[in-house]
Amino acid sequence: MKVALVGIGKIARDQHVPAINGSKDWELAATVSRHGSVDGVEAFADLDTLLAERPDIEVVSLCLPPVPRFDYAVAALRAGRHVMLEKPPGATVAECHALEAMAREAGVSVYATWHSREAAQVNQARDWLKDKRLKSLKVTWKEDVRRWHPGQEWIWKAGGLGVFDPGINALSIVTEILPDAIRLTAASLEFPENRETPIAASLVFAHPHGADISAVFDWRQEGDQTWMIEAETDDGVLRLTEGGARLSINGETAAEQDADGNPLLGEYPRLYAKMAKLVRDGGIDMDLAPMTLVADAFLLGRRVTVEPFEE
């Protein structure tokens, strides 16, 4: 299947292009970007031209920041193309609902991807937790924004989510591995005096069977970086680390190869494999659970002003 990649920035180069090139399902047939391109691939400066000139490209994958992404998604859906959305699937919840409705009307697939859910060990964590009684779950997501988001001004603008841009990855894993729905009950959001989005947040959730669930997100972490979820159950402790790539259960590390000794597939190859299946089956996958928890954190959270942040 031919796919066009829209928005050739860091995430496209680091993740989408290698995943597409490494897959038997996909051919990277074109790019759309005002600045970037990919060697050997036809480059368009705007999406409308691509949609008009390349009717053979059935699928459009959008790697733009959330705020401008909606109009591109609408154009692609109206042109009858299947659409794959980087996370978060929209700048607002209403946008996501609108895109889902349009895809249904156009009879095409739309996939709200959550790349962290496809990290190598997330499925194993989910399978192990399925029949355990959860006592507590703690998310610690601490990274250095200067290292991971250099020069990305949009993440600091209203709608850019701030520390929830990585934090929503953690919430996408939590909502995948827990068999029960959780809901936010309290949040504190730290906004640098000179920025429109938070640099840190702490969240408290309610669990239907009373487990203690909390999360801490922080973008000011220098040195060691932490993307960890720890769950305490009646049958021991699960630790999912490195953003879902490593798993230990009661201190024992889970296998990192498959039965043939190959490394487990990582995030983006699995996203593109799922998109291929979705298009073949004519499906829509628009799970908004992580997005809902983030919107709720902004809705319910206390805002705290902290010292200015300069990159």
Query: Please, what is the minimum distance in Å from the beta carbon of residue 79 to a copy of itself?
Result: 17
**Which x/- pattern, by CB under 8 A, does the window 282-301 give for a copy of itself?**
----------xxxxx-xxxx
Q: Based on the shown chain and the rule CB under 8 A, indicate whether residue 303 belongs to the binding site for a copy of itself.
A: yes
Cα separation, 222 vs 219, whole angstroms:
9
Cα separation, 133 vs 125, whole angstroms:
14
- Catalytic annotation on 24? no
Query: Please, what is the minimum distance in Å from the beta carbon of residue 185 to a copy of itself?
Result: 8
Q: Based on the shown chain and the rule CB under 8 A, indicate whether residue 154 belongs to the binding site for a copy of itself.
A: no
Query: Please, what is the minimum distance in Å from the beta carbon of residue 90 to a copy of itself?
Result: 9
Query: Please, what is the minimum distance in Å from the beta carbon of residue 182 to a copy of itself?
Result: 8
- Selecting among 10, 87, 130, 142, the annotated active-site residue is 87
Q: Based on the shown chain and the rule CB under 8 A, indicate whether residue 58 belongs to the binding site for a copy of itself.
A: no
Query: Please, what is the minimum distance in Å from the beta carbon of residue 304 to a copy of itself?
Result: 10
**Interface with a copy of itself (CB under 8 A), residue from 1, 41, 43, 93:** 93
**Interface with a copy of itself (CB under 8 A), residue from 159, 212, 232, 287:** 159
**Interface with a copy of itself (CB under 8 A), residue from 72, 87, 95, 167:** 95
Residue 259 or 299 with smaller CB distance to a copy of itself: 299
Cα separation, 222 vs 78, whole angstroms:
45
Q: Based on the shown chain and the rule CB under 8 A, indicate whether residue 204 belongs to the binding site for a copy of itself.
A: no
Q: Based on the shown chain and the rule CB under 8 A, indicate whether residue 181 belongs to the binding site for a copy of itself.
A: yes
**# of chain residues touching a copy of itself (CB under 8 A):** 30
Q: Based on the shown chain and the rule CB under 8 A, indicate whether residue 184 belongs to the binding site for a copy of itself.
A: yes
Q: Based on the shown chain and the rule CB under 8 A, indicate whether residue 199 belongs to the binding site for a copy of itself.
A: no
Token reading at 97: 């609902």
Q: Residue numbers of the site for a copy of itself (CB under 8 A)?
A: 91-95, 97-98, 101, 158-159, 181-184, 186-187, 191, 196, 292-296, 298-303, 305
Active site residues: 87
